[in-house]
Amino acid sequence: MHQTFPGPTVALPILPRLSGQGLGTLLRAPLLLAAVAWPVAATFGQQVSAAPQIYQGQLVRLAETLKEQNAELDPDAVPFALALRTADGKLLPILKTLGSRALFQDARLLNRPVQLQARLVPNSQLLLVYRFYTLKNGAPHEVYYWCETCAIRRDYPDKGVCECCGGPMELREVPLPP
């Protein structure tokens, strides 16, 4: 039986060459291989969501929402804890991944309506985001960052400066074609 697992690709580290190495390296190699293979093998027994779905709601800091519930998040965790508040009031925490990086890096996207192409991590309420769009008057807008000087486009601001010229990266929101 062939199973496919959607989602981000897992990069496996290169194992050390064993030729010419001491016995210690030879004994550590199986442990290293097991450590690398375990996270991948652990997913075989779980039901994996088929394809990303569309989720809509408001992007909120989880710390602010928890304060309303008389719960406090550790200050170190505040920048890494975002959630999608859906229309029915559910809070779905968002994992920080390449697809959601801009949501965590750009405060201008907070407390705004968004549309996420995401899936729930199996057996949880955690959202794994593949793409996101801001919503303006109910219409999805593609979000990206642009350097006018170098004509460089990025999906996340990464300190807000262009890696080429050091100039500012401008937030752009472009309506999706109908």
Neighbours of 125 (CB within 10 A): 11
pLDDT recorded at residue 78: 84
pLDDT recorded at residue 43: 42
Domain spanning 53-135 has what CATH number? 2.40.50
| Residue extents of the structural domains in the chain | 53-135, 140-175
Q: How far is CA 82 from the centre of its chain?
A: 11
Return d(Cα 162, Cα 169) in angstroms, integer: 6
pLDDT recorded at residue 49: 54
The CA-based angle 123-127-129, given to 5 degrees, is: 140
The structure tokens listed for 132 are 């996101």
Return d(Cα 160, Cα 171) in angstroms, integer: 9
pLDDT over threshold 70, residue 131: yes
The structure tokens listed for 112 are 């705004």
pLDDT over threshold 70, residue 19: no
Q: What average pLDDT does range 159-171 have in this prediction?
A: 94
With a pLDDT cut of 70, the percent of the chain lying above it is 72
pLDDT recorded at residue 157: 93
The string of DSSP codes covering 78-131 is: GGG-EEEE-TTS-EEEE---TTTHHHHH-GGGTTSEEEEEEEEPTTS--EEEEE
pLDDT over threshold 50, residue 14: no
pLDDT over threshold 60, residue 21: no
Lowest mean pLDDT among 36-45, 73-82, 135-144, 146-155: 36-45
